[in-house]
Structure 1
Amino acid sequence: MTVHKSASGSVMLSWLPLAAMAVVAVADVVVGPGVGFLPLVSLGPAFSGLVGGWRRTALVGAAALLVCVGLGLYDGLFEERRGFRAMASVAGVTVAGIVAAVTRSRREAELASVKSIAEVAQRVLLRPVPRTAGPLRAAVSYTSAVAQARIGGDLYEVVASPHGVRVIVGDVQGKGLAAVETAAVVLGAFREAAHDESDLVGLGERLGRSVARELEGERFVTVVLAEFGSGHEAVFLNYGHPAPMVVREDGSVDFPEPASFALPLGLGEHGTEGPRPYQVGFAPGDQLLLYTDGVTEARDSGGSFYPLGDRAGLLKEPDAERALETLREDLVRHVAGPLHDDAAMLLLRYHNHVG
């Protein structure tokens, strides 16, 4: 439906210059030369310069000059020089329209180049997570609060390391390029340290040092780290991030939290103790959803937060990608408009999951 409406709109815009000239010509013939409609023929090339290329604008301008000459002869305006003034007006607007069309085409080319660079940056920063990592099946969803944006301050990654499958989901304070830069620092440090550090605490400390070197002032990053070994359990390390959601095989929902909360990355220099790892049972048939606060803090028109726990049943779909997409669509419907914050979700299951 959206594509059809967009195509219809493009067709209407393409015919607008010719329609404008036709209306002016008919009005001039019906009303007569006394009203002075003839210079309005220049609306044709003016509109064409806004919606078409320079060649099309030049052709429309030539057509407008022919219409101007024809109507001028019909109305006898060249005897009073009014016809020449109308032609000069049409020629001037046509030149301006051609300049506008060329400028717009250059800007569109520059925008296409910037979008291409952004897509490359997305693949480097938020590259697709592996569909399988060790015994786990992974699916990810990212919804930006900024229209047409592809990257932001939310981050995620899944790494199959010698120490087990390690996962990170985080949220950088703030927005814009500074948040993207910080997310790149955290992800780069995680991808390297996930292979090198033998335990989750060491991995978290290494991330903290990397962030501390980059951040200034009161900026910070909330992060939850998860590790999956050979047993049926997950180990978490939480730096001020929303608690993960565990959906058991029987449909029950749990949001396991640490015994004590720790500050986000970047605020550790205040001298508080770092987070302690805690274990949660995670067996075949269970599902684990890691997410950013853009999900749980999304509000509807009445100000109610998104009830993530009540929507856990939407993840029954056997296909992980479809299940997560169903949940994302429900989140968007809840807000009934653009999100006010980026929303990232990472769904983990064992192979051969049964919904």
Structure 2
Amino acid sequence: MDQGHSRLQQYPWLPPVLLVGSVGLELVTPKIVSGAALIAVAGMAAAISGTFRYTVMIVGVGLVLTGISAFEAHHGYASAAVQVAEIVIASALALAVRRMLDSQSAKFSVVRSTAEQLQRAVLPPLPKIIGPMTVACRYEAANTVARIGGDLYAVAETPFGLRLLIADVRGKGLGAVSAVSVIVGAFHERAESEADLEGLAERLDRAVARAAEQYADPFGIDAAEAFATALLIEIDRRGATLRLLSCGHPAPYLVQDGEVRELDTGQATPPLGMRNLAPSIGGPRSYDFPTGATLLCVTDGVTEARNAAGTFFDPVSDLKPVPDGDPEQLIGALFSSVGRWTKKKRSDDMAVLAVARDAADEAVPRGQATA
């Protein structure tokens, strides 16, 4: 009913057209034919497509038209009274439906507001400027009602440089929120103390495994299947070098001079929560981070978005246009490109984190993050 409701809301002119149609039907057809059915439909259409006041107006006009046509049709008082009674009942039902929809809408607004507050608590807004870096992020859940799911990102300014995390918890919707909070909390706790990305990944892996074992259904799934893919990034204090460690996560992209290049993360380590299966596999990769370039990190909601032909979206070839230097514009262009590619029909959460290098090779003191 929600889809039908939203569609009818696009046609507020429909109830008046139905009322006019009922009058026309009365005028051009024999008296035995009645337009009462169109009047009843007009009231229900108004209830679904408009406000309560609008519904009352349509219902009132319909009752007046019904009374006039019923008593001028010369069917007799009893027959006219029956026809009017039928429209009165239909009108009352339309008003009751409108009241029910208003009540549901109010409850839905409370649920949506709660979900938005929960998302801000789990994924608070990131600083826009950290040292020589400009940071931007955007998240859209596949569940447009809950507006929250299993994708996450985090940024921490540390003695080792700027550290970033983007991850994707197995599962969607509110069931994945507790796992998201576990990973984000572990990242902020350990990002400043672990000397390298391998140690940080190990700490996050332990946090995920511990949550799956100790807490009741923290991922919304069986504990044995609980894991999260993740990409850990470290940018040195001068902002000149990137270090990447993929835990089964899609590779990031380097955007510069209007071109998008995928960065090879090498052999990925197992996802968080499953690193004990192959503890010696994979390792970090290093890249130069040129001035004016932007690092674009995504979840599989981007790379696994499909068009009507079933072809996956590829940011290297399908991201158009490709803005330079402004991570906010780059993220906006990416979401627009994915929306066009999928015709806005996505089935997965989508999170994007972008970092642009603005300054020259000068070490920047800590604490220069700007909201």
The CA distance in 2 between the partners of 1:250 and 1:92, in whole Å, is 64
2:92 alignment counterpart: 95
1:287 alignment counterpart: 294
**Which of 271, 274, 283 is the aligned partner of 1:267?**
274
Give matches, 1:227-266, under 5 Å: 227-231=234-238, 232-247=240-255, 253=261, 255-258=263-266, 260-266=267-273
The CA distance in 2 between the partners of 1:178 and 1:30, in whole Å, is 60
State the shift of 1:206 in Å. 2.0
2:324 alignment counterpart: 317
Give matches, 1:100-139, under 5 Å: 100-139=97-136
Relative to 1, partners in 2 of residues 1:125 and 1:74: Cα closer, same or farther, differing over 3 Å?
Answer: same
The CA distance in 1 between the partners of 2:116 and 2:161, in whole Å, is 30
Decide which moves more: 207-216 or 262-271. 262-271
| 3-state secondary structure, aligned to 2:251 | coil
State the shift of 1:107 in Å. 0.4
Is the CA contact (8 Å cut-off) linking 1:54 and 1:99 kept in structure 2? Answer: no
Task: Tell me which amino acid in the other structure corresponds to 1:194.
Answer: A
Q: In the comparison of the two structures, how many residue pairs are matched? A: 343
Query: What does the per-residue CA deviation read over 1:134-169, in whole Å, with 9 as the maximum and x for residues that have no partner?
Result: 221122243444456633222111122344211001
Q: Which runs of 5+ in 2 are unaligned?
A: 1-6, 213-222, 361-371
**RMSD, aligned α-carbons:** 3.1
**Which of 151, 161, 169 is the aligned partner of 1:154?**
151
| 3-state secondary structure, aligned to 1:217 | helix
**Which of 144, 160, 164 is the aligned partner of 2:161?**
164
Task: Tell me which amino acid in the other structure corresponds to 1:307.
Answer: D
Task: Tell me which amino acid in the other structure corresponds to 1:42.
Answer: A
Task: Tell me which amino acid in the other structure corresponds to 1:305.
Answer: F
Return the TM-score normalized by structure 2: 0.80
**1:190 aligns to 2:184 (yes or no):** no
Query: What does the per-residue CA deviation read over 1:45-89, in whole Å, with 9 as the maximum and x for residues that have no partner?
Result: 33333333444434433333332222222122334x101101111
1:83 alignment counterpart: 80
Give matches, 1:39-78, under 5 Å: 41-78=39-76
Task: Tell me which amino acid in the other structure corresponds to 2:47.
Answer: G
Is the CA contact (8 Å cut-off) linking 2:244 and 2:265 kept in structure 1? Answer: no
State the shift of 1:309 in Å. 3.3
Relative to 1, partners in 2 of residues 1:73 and 1:192: Cα closer, same or farther, differing over 3 Å?
Answer: same
2:25 alignment counterpart: 27
State the shift of 1:10 in Å. 5.1
Decide which moves more: 199-208 or 144-153. 144-153
Is the CA contact (8 Å cut-off) linking 1:317 and 1:323 kept in structure 2? Answer: yes
Task: Tell me which amino acid in the other structure corresponds to 1:270.
Answer: L
Task: Tell me which amino acid in the other structure corresponds to 1:241.
Answer: H
State the shift of 1:314 in Å. 5.0
| 3-state secondary structure, aligned to 1:129 | coil
**Which of 335, 339, 351 is the aligned partner of 2:358?**
351
2:367 alignment counterpart: none
Relative to 1, partners in 2 of residues 1:182 and 1:26: Cα closer, same or farther, differing over 3 Å?
Answer: same
Query: What does the per-residue CA deviation read over 1:248-284, in whole Å, with 9 as the maximum and x for residues that have no partner?
Result: 67968452324x4321011134363375444333243
Greater percentage in helix? 1
The CA distance in 2 between the partners of 1:69 and 1:252, in whole Å, is 69
Query: What does the per-residue CA deviation read over 1:205-237, in whole Å, with 9 as the maximum and x for residues that have no partner?
Result: 221121112231222101111122325222233
2:218 alignment counterpart: none
Return the TM-score normalized by structure 1: 0.83
The CA distance in 2 between the partners of 1:78 and 1:11, in whole Å, is 40
Is the CA contact (8 Å cut-off) linking 2:150 and 2:169 kept in structure 1? Answer: yes
Relative to 1, partners in 2 of residues 1:205 and 1:110: Cα closer, same or farther, differing over 3 Å?
Answer: same
| 3-state secondary structure, aligned to 1:72 | helix
State the shift of 1:310 in Å. 4.1
Relative to 1, partners in 2 of residues 1:24 and 1:245: Cα closer, same or farther, differing over 3 Å?
Answer: closer
The CA distance in 1 between the partners of 2:325 and 2:183, in whole Å, is 32
Relative to 1, partners in 2 of residues 1:193 and 1:67: Cα closer, same or farther, differing over 3 Å?
Answer: same
**1:16 aligns to 2:14 (yes or no):** yes
